[in-house]
Structure 1
Amino acid sequence: MTDHSSGLDKVPVIVLTFPLPDLVTQRLGTQYHVESLLTPAARQAYVTHSGDLVRAIVTNGSTRLDGAFMDTMPNLCIIHTFGVGYEGVDVDAARARGIEVAYSPGTNADSVADQAFALLLAVMRDIVPNDGLVRQGAWRPIRPVPPQLSGQKIGIVGMGHIGQRIAARAAGFSMPVFYYSRRPCDQAQWTYCPSVMDMAARVNILAVTLPGGPETCNVIDADVLRALGPQGYVVNVGRGSVISNTVLTEALEKGIIAGAGLDVVEREPNLPAALREQPNIVFSPHVGARSPQSLLTCLDQVMTNLHAALAGRPVHTPVP
């Protein structure tokens, strides 16, 4: 039996399953009691004794939340992913239990699109190795003539909020935009491709924005990278599971493609040494979605949905 003498039964308890910046947790804490339970063991230990206190979970897209775990929290009314991904949440199990599942589409699209272009410029223009050489006292480039980004043909895999922001930025670099998505967009200036393979053969750059999950696992396979070719670059700001580490490593080692920029990696944060040691790749630690603007915009959406669900009203952005 849970001891409610602390008064927590009068304050909705929010469980965080992954670390968020202080500006987010502090604002959540002004209205709710927040428990940061960042490991499966910590979550299980808490719900064993206090699961009936939990009214909401704020999670990321990849943390696994299944029906058995939901059953330990009989008063849980909403699971909200902080961002656009939700592949780790068993949505069907939640809905079967009357639990709302919400996400925050579009709230971080500008930040992620910025990151995609930062990675592209960094890998194509040798920003990281040239910086290292200059710091060591050299004044020579790692490559005499690196390619320019302007005018390159870009293929966007997934034309959702993020893909559309990438396309808008591509216009500023005079880049013809090709795209593959589940359905064509009503944008005459972009060229729709019927498959990823068809698109890869027509472009110099692949920008991947796909969410995770079984439907997108290893969509960018060895054949796609061969079609992209030895002058081609791939940047992934979607989910790491879309590109196999093994396939990508081989493509970089053998010169099947010219380079890659990754904000996400398969099975992150466990980065295999063979991939980590590739000189023609630039990494960032899954931070594309993070900027003060995107965090606060996402937080506004989360708070709006939490208020609605806890008051028994439909959320504004349920998962599809």
Structure 2
Amino acid sequence: MKPVLLVLVFLSEEHRALVGEQFDMIYAPNAHLGKDRTNGEAQINARGHEIKVVLTNGTNGLLASEIDRLPVLELICTVGVGYENVAIEAARARGIAVANAAGTNDDCVADHTMMLLLAAIRRLPFLNTGVRHGLWRDDIPRPPHVSYRRLGILGLGAIGRKVAHRALGFHMTIGYHNRQRRDDVDYEYFEDLESLARWCDFLIVAAPGGKETYHIINEKIIDCIGPQGVLVNIARGTLVDLDAVSRALREGRLMAAALDVYENEPTPPAPLLDLDNAVLTPHIAGISPQAIDASVRKFLENAACFYAGKPLVTPV
């Protein structure tokens, strides 16, 4: 008899078929990135006593109140690295195993990060639109180049390191701020974020979401980056104060910002929509056919290990 699995995130038809080979699957993706939990709630109310596994993501998570109504739950997995809205302590108190899909979309996110950085520095959206309306290069200030500049990275985890590796191809000097210094890299370490922001030309935000990092990029940090600086966020929208970014861009205290994530997703970030020095993408940095496939297969690998009594491949 297959374990009953509740899926709270979108899966393609192909992946639903793949997962369905191993599980009795209840497919109930929550809408609006988990803000509307109607689908999941309905299935928990109807079949909560049967559900042994939940597949979710960091944004949807799985709330403590939901875990409480899943008496036979054994395993929670996320597609992607994030798990900030999974009630980890509630799961641990029940002895429920938790795994993520670490390592499945790092390259995709790092590629997208460099694209955002280059687009923001070289003013790609402005130039693309301008050419379609008769713009020529003699009519505008020259955008700066990227190579040989100083790149600051907030959060030198797996994705941050992949970004740094790509930046080295542009002969950039790398600095970072982390909860602690890493022994496996020789990049310059900064004890605090303010020092890193003052030092760098461009700042990449790649740290985890959650209460500890809420609005860690605020007015003070933005002013440290300065009027020739660029801010890129590919982590979680809650790390960046959008109103502070908007004011800085409008007042010339920050040259450009490039955001793949923002608060209140999927609602567009209203303070930035009329700014041509704000590059915006719809939380797609970690999404590619290859990355999604790898994340689903990582879930199946973790589940197979769990039911075989082996250690999880990517435990949280």
User: Within 1, Cα distance between the matches of 2:132 and 2:11?
Assistant: 33
For 2:274, the aligned partner's letter is: E
Q: 1:83-130 deviations in whole A, cap 9, x for unaligned?
A: 111110110101111211111222211111101100011111121222
| Aligned with 1:291 (options 280, 288, 304) | 288
Distance 1:165-1:77 versus aligned 2 partners, 3 A rule: same
Aligned to 1:250: 247
- The 5 A counterparts of 1:1-320 are 10-39=1-30, 40-140=37-137, 143-187=140-184, 189-319=186-316
Cα displacement (A) at 1:312: 4.5
160-169 or 276-285: bigger deviation: 276-285
- How does the TM-score come out when normalised to structure 1? 0.91
243-252 or 155-164: bigger deviation: 243-252
Distance 1:306-1:121 versus aligned 2 partners, 3 A rule: same
- How does the TM-score come out when normalised to structure 2? 0.92
User: Within 1, Cα distance between the matches of 2:88 and 2:146?
Assistant: 40
SS, match of residue 213 in structure 2: coil
SS, match of residue 52 in structure 1: coil
Cα displacement (A) at 1:138: 4.3
Q: How many residues align?
A: 310
CA contact (8 A) 2:263 2:269 kept: no
Cα displacement (A) at 1:232: 0.1
Distance 1:138-1:175 versus aligned 2 partners, 3 A rule: same
25-34 or 253-262: bigger deviation: 25-34
Structure 2 unpaired stretches of 5+: 31-36
Identity rate, percent: 36
